[in-house]
Amino acid sequence: MVFAILGAHYAGTDATCFGSEVSLVDPKSKTLELRTTNLTLHDYLSIDETLVYSPHPSNKNHTLLKQEASINVKGLPLSGYLEGVVVGNIDNNAGKGRQAMEWAISNIKSEMEELAKTAQTVSLTAQKELTKTMQFIDTEPYC
């Protein structure tokens, strides 16, 4: 489990907003759960979001993402309108999150492929050098 407090600028302002995130990894079930809540303005607007990444039950090459958010506006006028605006922002950002995850997976996959190629090249070079050394030892008289 990892707990973090995150800070970021919001909506092009100089104000820093804070949130907390708890990350849970379950190696047995191969799931990753992220729970996030806002800390800034929590007394007026609370957003609790949960993301769960899990293996697809019938396709091992796919991952399922379940996303839930609970939004509560307290003590402010037009609370229904504000909740709708927040829901719209979450919907827009959901696609960005998926794209970011796909980008990260793609980069990791490319790096792993490059690492595998490099390891294979190093292994072949080492085998050739070992063969040369063994041939040299077999042809040279011992002192």
Count of domains observed in the chain: 1
Confidence category of residue 19, pLDDT binned at 50, 70, 90? confident
DSSP 61-122: T-EEEEEEEEEEE-S-TTHHHHHHHHHHHHHHHHHHHHHHHHHHHHHHHHHHHHHHHHHHHH
Q: Give me the pLDDT at residue 97, please.
A: 74
Please write the tens of the pLDDT for every residue from 45-87: 888 999 999 999 999 888 898 989 888 888 878 888 888 888 8
Across the range 26-53, mean pLDDT stands at 90
In the sheet that 2-9 helps form, which strands lie side by side, from edge to edge? 2-9, 16-26, 31-38, 45-55, 63-73
Confidence category of residue 7, pLDDT binned at 50, 70, 90? low
Q: Give me the pLDDT at residue 24, please.
A: 92
C-beta separation of 19 from 42 below 8 A: no
Q: Give me the pLDDT at residue 59, please.
A: 93
Please write the tens of the pLDDT for every residue from 99-139: 887 888 889 999 999 999 999 999 999 999 999 888 888 77
Q: Give me the pLDDT at residue 16, please.
A: 79
Domain with 70 in it:
2-139
Q: Give me the pLDDT at residue 115, please.
A: 93
Does residue 4 have a pLDDT over 70?
no
Confidence category of residue 10, pLDDT binned at 50, 70, 90? low
